Copies of this chain bind each other. A is one copy, B any other.
């Protein structure tokens, strides 16, 4: 059997449309010996009309995973494992260990009194607390104490470590990182802290004490790093901000009441390669479908409902996690007529925007709602 070189032909002006002939095949085979190829044999494949993500929409139910996450406590020690994490593997991205696109995510568990070793890496990272008390994260000498639905940053290049206080309970949180992107870009560096654990050299929670004043910043405190000096975003003020914003806005047709976590020093994203948001769906709210570039990992922080991604319905409740690949239509619905629902999400929009690649499109047909594929 001879190779076929014309499988991507398209019969349209401006696209490659070259039939295989013996003479051409001989040419292609000769080119291959020179470390080359004929562009027209692959052009239509590598220049698609629009993005066709290799990631698939998926949902992980917390009630399905929780016991297995807890079991890791018995199976491995922190010293052996580094971190006891069950990672989420997208069916289409298992080669790069991604939950969606180039984003990694996992559920980490830690027992009271444990503290992981300190390290730093090129990947930007975040945690979103799911359950337990006493969790803390140290970042470059700053310690943040954490409760459910708190969101904390461990940016690219910062020494960081996670732990749970002696008097805490078993804690589970979601990790989000762009390890796969760092590898893809041949730019991933990793270091273990020389002392294994860093000293906490600032007052506990000083990051929020200094930087969480709305519309206020400490005078004379320089900040030139490319990530937010506000390292922790607590749930209570976040939810409060959503409620206040909801009181004066009609919200987005596609996202309800959506706020982005930002760097208060710049108004920009919290880190250079990962953004994050919290959105509120009002009782009974059902959004319309749109699609855009950028990959998203969602966690339900409050309430229950469902999302339709690329024609597939995913029902979620508190702590469930689901993903939306780039350029797939998605819409969200609050399942309750009386309670609001909140979705936390993180994404690679800062990458899309920094590189000029953000594009968005609303679904025009059917009142903006996707037909459900069976």
Contacts and interface: CB of A to CB of B under 8 A. Distances in A.
A13, A24, A215, A262, most chain B CB atoms within 10 A: A215
Interface in A256-270: 258-267
15 contacts: A16-B82, A18-B76, A38-B86, A39-B82, A39-B86, A122-B357, A156-B356, A189-B359, A203-B247, A211-B214, A212-B215, A216-B261, A216-B262, A218-B258, A219-B260
Contacts of A220: 252, 255, 258
Number of copies: 4
Contact of A266 (B79, B118, B206, B267): B267
Nearest to A277: B219
Interface stretch (A48-56, A163-171, A300-308): A48-56
Contacts of A244: 208-210, 212-213
Interface of A: 12-18, 23-24, 27, 30-32, 34-40, 42-43, 46-55, 58, 60, 64-65, 68, 71-72, 75-76, 79-91, 96-97, 101-102, 104, 106, 117-119, 121-123, 156-157, 179-180, 182-193, 196, 202-203, 205-206, 208-220, 226, 228, 230, 233, 237-238, 240-242, 244-245, 247-249, 252, 255, 258-267, 272-273, 277-279, 293, 295, 325-327, 351-352, 354-357, 359
Given A47-B188, A210-B245, 6 more contacts: A40-B76, A42-B87, A43-B82, A51-B188, A187-B357, A264-B264
A352 B249 contact: no
A241 B210 CA distance: 8
Contact of A326 (B82, B187, B354): B187
Contacts of A84: 39-40
A97 B37 contact: yes
A190 B36 contact: no
Contacts of A16: 80-82
Looking at A30, A35, A228, A326, the one whose CB has the most chain B CB atoms below 10 A away is: A35
Contacts of A88: 35-36
A344 to B, nearest CB: 12
A134 to B, nearest CB: 21
A272 B355 contact: yes
A168 B160 CA distance: 53
B68 A30 contact: yes
A369 B58 CA distance: 50
B15 A82 contact: yes
Contacts of A87: 36-39, 42
Nearest to A231: B215
Contacts of A185: 101-102, 293, 326, 351-352, 355, 357
A356 B182 CA distance: 11
A240 B31 CA distance: 37
B37 A262 contact: no
Contacts of A23: 75
Top 8 A-B residue pairs of the complex, sorted by shortest distance between their CB atoms = A213-B241, A14-B192, A186-B326, A39-B85, A40-B81, A354-B354, A206-B248, A219-B258
A332 to B, nearest CB: 14
B51 A210 contact: no
Contact of A65 (B34, B240, B258): B34
A132 B116 CA distance: 56
A65 B86 CA distance: 50
A155 B93 CA distance: 30
